[in-house]
Amino acid sequence: MKTEKYQCTHCGYVYVYIEYDNGNKMNMPFEQLDDNWTCPTCGLSKKIFKKID
Tens digit of pLDDT for each residue in 1-29? 999 999 999 999 999 999 999 999 999 99
Angstrom distances, CA of residue 41 to CA of 24, 47, 48, 50, 52? 26, 15, 13, 16, 18
> Hey, what domains does the chain have and what are their CATH numbers?
2-52 (2.20.28.10)
Taking alpha carbons only, the member of 36, 35, 37, 44 closest to residue 10 is: 44
Summary mean pLDDT of the chain: 97
Assign 53 to helix, strand or coil: coil
pLDDT band at 31 (very low <50, low <70, confident <90, very high): very high
Burial class (CB in 10 A: 0-12, 13-18, 19+), 46: middle
**Looking at residue 23, what is its pLDDT?**
93
